[in-house]
Amino acid sequence: MSKLLITTAIPYVNADPHIGFGLEAVQADVVARYRRLMEDEVYFLTGTDENSLKNVQAAKLARVPVKELVDANAEKFKKLKTVLDISYDDFIRTTEVRHVEGAKKFWRMCAKDIFRKVYRGLYCVGCELFYKESELAEGLCPEHHTKPETVEEENYFFRLSAYQKQLGAIYAEDRIRIVPERRKHEVERFIESGLEDFSISRSITRADGWGIPVPDDNHQIMYVWFDALTNYVTGIDFAQGGRTFEKFWRDEDTKIIHMIGKGVLRFHAIYWPAMLLSAGLRLPNTVFVHGYVTAEGEKMSKSLGNVIDPKDVTKEWGIDPTRYFLLREIPPCEDGDFSMERLARRYADDLAHGLGNLVSRSLTLMIKAGQVTVGKDDLKKDVLLSWKDYSAALTEFKFNTALEAVWNLMGRADRYINAQKPWQQTPGEKEFEDTASSIWLALANLNEMLQPFMPHTASVISQWLGYKNSSSPWQGGKFMIQKPGKLFPLLLRK
Ligand SMILES: [Zn+2]
């Protein structure tokens, strides 16, 4: 049994949750659920980044106090727990006292690398990032296509340049593994281009009084990224140095996995490890980087009015089909498109006709006998192969490939039923019992593989199979089969 800390990035709360973060939350949730299924001890942390200048601007636009805006929006992110069935263990808001105290403690631990300097630079508020002239696209922010502001002030700086060599070696030796590999090359190229010290505070005026004050200097507010990155430790009781922190961060045996989007790679692969080195804390093991989600082929944006809210999708299609679609259809590390037409097709083909049919067809046969004595396993080879492919895929965060392995087993089970023709066999006789046992075992196994992806569906199927989350039910015994209902009813869509 190993210990794991799994985190998502913490999104800004200047807008509602969108399906892009929904993807990240679901990906992280599958890893968490899968590792729990493997009986690992998992701590799954998510939260919200609330000290950004963007929130101040959004609150001004909405004419509400900043605190009111962040409270209301943070609640919507917290609710992803039910909206997308996200099994997080804790939710850290960067306006909470435990975070504020933790971020200050972290700052103090980095004191040897913090100094004051007058700085003039090009700042994109959207990114909360200073850009070099050479990084701009025709004078505009490459992410936001807006003109960055010229900012000049005396700030605190973090001596990132001191970690250039160490960071280079860390990636050369894969001490932090970045998935996919090409994102590692991106990080390596950035390190080779030269790491410059970066500003980690701003004047209280420019911050509009919002954010975490620099320890012992009330005129300066911490740079939002410096405070936000520390959420990975403040969310596990870093401020108090509590047991969760000891267990899931300090203990070198714990595997730490950060799940992020490609837009924040530099912060997680360069700034954060450098901050940890400075503070004398251990590094994460893995950074998994997903792509962006477009809506019907277009970039989602407020101005286009095409932002997809996960709760609207789950309301229409259900939670599990939405999770399934995101994980099966959006390539884990590439940009992918959210299309209602393809969601409808996946729902009908893979869920209603694929999974739904197999389950109802198998259980209807077994119900003839009322119960199944589990023993004979004609599909054992297929089941083992499927588990092998599934586990290998999940180790590599290939969620779509893992699902393919489950669907391959489904196809094999379907063909087995066709070949055995159990409807021509007699319940009570060996032939029928062997067929029923083999089908039961295949279903129980593929249902367990489905569990991290579609937890509700899997719990329903396990009840129909006559067991409730008992460990390794396929080792033998009698199971009372329940009459199955419709798993994924085909609905007429407008
Ligand atoms: Zn930007």
Question: What's the pLDDT tens digit per position in 58-67?
Answer: 999 999 999 9
pLDDT tens per residue across span 26-78: 999 999 999 999 999 999 999 999 999 889 989 999 999 999 999 999 999 99
Output the CA 143–ligand 1 centroid distance in Å: 5
Do the domain assignments include residue 223?
no
Which residues face 179 on adjacent strands?
A: 288
Output the CA 123–ligand 1 centroid distance in Å: 8
pLDDT tens per residue across span 338-373: 999 999 999 999 999 999 999 999 999 999 888 899
Q: Which of 178, 116, 161 minimizes the C-alpha distance to 271?
A: 161
Do the domain assignments include residue 460?
yes
Output the CA 434–ligand 1 centroid distance in Å: 62
Do the domain assignments include residue 49?
no
Which residues face 477 on adjacent strands?
A: 374
Output the CA 125–ligand 1 centroid distance in Å: 6
Residue 15: its pLDDT value, please?
85
Residues 6+ apart with CB under 8 A from 344: 493
Strands 149-158 and 114-124: antiparallel
Residue 305's pLDDT band (cuts 50, 70, 90):
confident
Mean pLDDT, residues 375-400? 97
Residue 452: its pLDDT value, please?
98
Q: Are 332 and 399 in contact (CB under 8 A)?
A: yes
Q: Are 49 and 13 in contact (CB under 8 A)?
A: yes
Residue 477's pLDDT band (cuts 50, 70, 90):
confident
Output the CA 141–ligand 1 centroid distance in Å: 5
Residue 440's pLDDT band (cuts 50, 70, 90):
very high
Residue 474: its pLDDT value, please?
65
Do the domain assignments include residue 384?
yes
Output the CA 63–ligand 1 centroid distance in Å: 24
Domain count, the chain: 1
Per-residue H/E/C for 226-243: HHHHCHHHHCCCCCCCCH
Q: How far apart are CA 14 and CA 64, in angstroms?
A: 12
Residue 219: in which H helix or E strand, if any?
Answer: strand 217-222
Mean pLDDT, residues 410-420? 97
Distances (CA, A) of 201 to 120, 157, 222, 325, 366: 13, 7, 4, 41, 66
Do the domain assignments include residue 329?
no
280: left (phi over 0), alpha (psi -120 to 50) or beta: left
Output the CA 70–ligand 1 centroid distance in Å: 21
Residue 493's pLDDT band (cuts 50, 70, 90):
low
**Who surrounds ion ligand 1 at CB < 5 A?**
124, 126-127, 141, 143-144
Residue 329: in which H helix or E strand, if any?
Answer: helix 319-329
Residues 6+ apart with CB under 8 A from 71: none
Output the CA 230–ligand 1 centroid distance in Å: 22
Output the CA 294–ligand 1 centroid distance in Å: 18
Report whether pLDDT(303) > 80.
no
Output the CA 489–ligand 1 centroid distance in Å: 44
Q: How far apart are CA 31 and CA 13, in angstroms?
A: 24
Output the CA 149–ligand 1 centroid distance in Å: 11
- Work out the angle at residue 225's Cα, subtended by the Cα atoms of residues 157 and 30, and round it to the nearest 5 degrees: 145
Distances (CA, A) of 295 to 98, 234, 350, 399: 37, 34, 22, 20
Output the CA 334–ligand 1 centroid distance in Å: 21
Report whether pLDDT(436) > 70.
yes
Output the CA 132–ligand 1 centroid distance in Å: 12
b/e burial code for range 400-423 (CB count within 10 A of at least 16 → b): ebbbbbbbbbbebbbebbeebebe
Do the domain assignments include residue 132?
no
Residue 473: its pLDDT value, please?
64
| Residue recorded with tokens 């029928």 | 432
Output the CA 52–ligand 1 centroid distance in Å: 13
Output the CA 12–ligand 1 centroid distance in Å: 14
Residue type present at position 112: K
User: What length is written for the chain?
Assistant: 494
3-state secondary structure of 110: coil
Q: How far apart are CA 116 and CA 131, in angstroms?
A: 19
Output the CA 145–ligand 1 centroid distance in Å: 7
Structure tokens at 310: 């996960």
Q: How far apart are CA 489 and CA 475, in angstroms?
A: 32
pLDDT tens per residue across span 223-258: 999 999 999 999 999 999 999 999 999 999 999 999
Residue 103: its pLDDT value, please?
98
Residue 471: its pLDDT value, please?
53
Output the CA 151–ligand 1 centroid distance in Å: 15
Q: How far apart are CA 228 and CA 126, in angstroms?
A: 15
Residue 494: its pLDDT value, please?
43
Q: Which of 351, 306, 297, 295 minimizes the C-alpha distance to 325?
A: 351
Output the CA 26–ligand 1 centroid distance in Å: 26
Residue 197: its pLDDT value, please?
95
Mean pLDDT (the chain, rounded)? 94
Mean pLDDT, residues 312-330? 97
Output the CA 266–ligand 1 centroid distance in Å: 14
Output the CA 206–ligand 1 centroid distance in Å: 17
Report whether pLDDT(154) > 80.
yes
Output the CA 332–ligand 1 centroid distance in Å: 24
Do the domain assignments include residue 322?
no
- 365: CATH: 1.10.730.10
Report whether pLDDT(115) > 50.
yes
Residue 444: in which H helix or E strand, if any?
Answer: helix 430-450
Q: Are 57 and 14 in contact (CB under 8 A)?
A: yes
Mean pLDDT, residues 138-147? 91
Residue 120: its pLDDT value, please?
87
Output the CA 25–ligand 1 centroid distance in Å: 23
Residue 126's pLDDT band (cuts 50, 70, 90):
confident
Residue type present at position 424: Q
Residues 6+ apart with CB under 8 A from 47: 10, 77, 90, 91, 92, 93, 94, 231, 235
Q: Are 221 and 213 in contact (CB under 8 A)?
A: yes
Output the CA 412–ligand 1 centroid distance in Å: 49
Output the CA 136–ligand 1 centroid distance in Å: 10
Residue 380: its pLDDT value, please?
97
Do the domain assignments include residue 40?
no
First to last CA, the chain: 49
Output the CA 209–ligand 1 centroid distance in Å: 22
Domain that holds residue 351: 347-480
